[in-house]
Structures are given as structure tokens and as C-alpha cells.
Amino acid sequence: MFYLLDLAGVAVFAVSGALAAMHSGLDLLGVVVLASITAIGGGTLRDLLLNRHPIFWMEDPWPLYVILGAALLTVGYVQVLPIPFKALLIADALGLALFAMSGAQLAERTGHRALVVVLMGTLTGVGGGLLRDVFTAKVPLILRQDIYASAAIAGVALYLLLQRIGVPRAVAFGVSLVGIAALRLAAVAWGLELPRFTPP
């Protein structure tokens, strides 16, 4: 379950990274590099912080194969079909939800406190996109105006809360996963924003 979730997250984030790279006019290897950074950046930061070695993509060849495949398929797709305008945002929302929940479960299994579970889930979810944005010299999406990291935080908190009130883990997991993706997509669709407190 963990494993397939991670691979699915890797795939959608690789697509997201590859689309962003092509959008910035990078060359073929730049596309693969940015797809990789986006896809394994969050999980790598999580593993470094939780001291889990070897890093998840070092022993298991699949994440890297999935990235290569997803990046090349994305490149090929874009050559023959018009780019789906919303594809980047949707792939990003799905990757966010998958990675946040997978990271949260990992931290939960290693016995960390609720606050650390929320942080690790959020970091796993937003880390790759954050590195993608830093490496293309943009202010990261997670710090911009709309709901992004907050969707992950709310989702993981919901996951922990549902379990505490007796909801079975698998149900809590599914609800939270869908919740994060839905919240993120709703924020994109209707331009939802958190309040801001700009000093006068």
C-alpha cells in the first residue's frame, strides 16, 4: 500500500516536474532532472530528517524508472497532443495528497508525535514542488497566496483526528487523501485563499 502510493506520487510529481521544465524551455535532460527533483525531493528530505537510510530511491530501482518513464511519456505526449492546460495543477494536487499521506504514515509508524507527523506529511507533500520552484528561481508555490501546504496540514490533521475518534485507519486514510486533493483543487478552481495579515 505504502509502496504503490509512493510510486503513484512519484509518477504524478514527475509529470508535474516535466511539464514545468518544458514550460520553462529546459532541454531534455533538464526535463528529466527537474522531474526527478520534483518527484523524489520531498521523500528525500523526509528520509534525511527521519534518518531513514538508505534513502527510499537508493535500493529500490522503481521510483527512478517510474520518473524516467513518466518524464519521457510526458515529453512524447506534448509533441503530438495539445498540452492540457489544467494538467499541471491537477497532477500537482494529486501528488500533494499522495505524498502528504504517505509521509504522514511513515512518521506515524516510527512513533513520532502528532505535530511531527503533520510536519513530515506536509514536508513530504510540498518538498518536491518547493525544490522544483527554488531551482527554477520562483517563489515556491507553497508560500504564494492560495491554499497549498495548508491543504496538506489540514488533511494530515484530519487523518490523526479521525483515528482518535475511532475511525478505522484505512477509512481515515482514504478520506484524508481525497480531502487534501479536493481542498487543493477547490482552492485552484474558486481561488480560495487564507486570510493575510499584511502590516499597514
94 versus 123: smaller Cβ distance to a copy of itself: 123
Q: Under 8 Å CB-to-CB from 194, ≥6 apart: which residues?
A: 146, 147, 150
User: One symbol per residue from 94 to 123: x for binding a copy of itself (CB under 8 A), - otherwise; what is it?
Assistant: ------------------xx-xx--x----
48 versus 171: smaller Cβ distance to a copy of itself: 48
How far apart are the C-alpha atoms of 170 and 153, rounded to whole Å?
19
Hey, which residues does 193 pair with through a beta bridge? 146
Q: Looking up cell 534525511, which residue turns up?
A: 48
Cβ proximity of 159 and 172 under 8 Å: yes
190 makes contact with a copy of itself (CB under 8 A):
no
137 makes contact with a copy of itself (CB under 8 A):
yes
Cα–Cα–Cα angle for 149, 157, 171, rounded to 5 degrees:
115
Region 155-184 residues binding a copy of itself, contact defined as CB under 8 A: none
> Could you list the residues that contact a copy of itself (CB under 8 A)?
19, 21-31, 33-34, 44, 48-49, 51, 53-55, 57-58, 61, 64, 75, 78-79, 82-83, 112-113, 115-116, 119, 130, 134-140, 142-146, 149-150, 153, 193-200
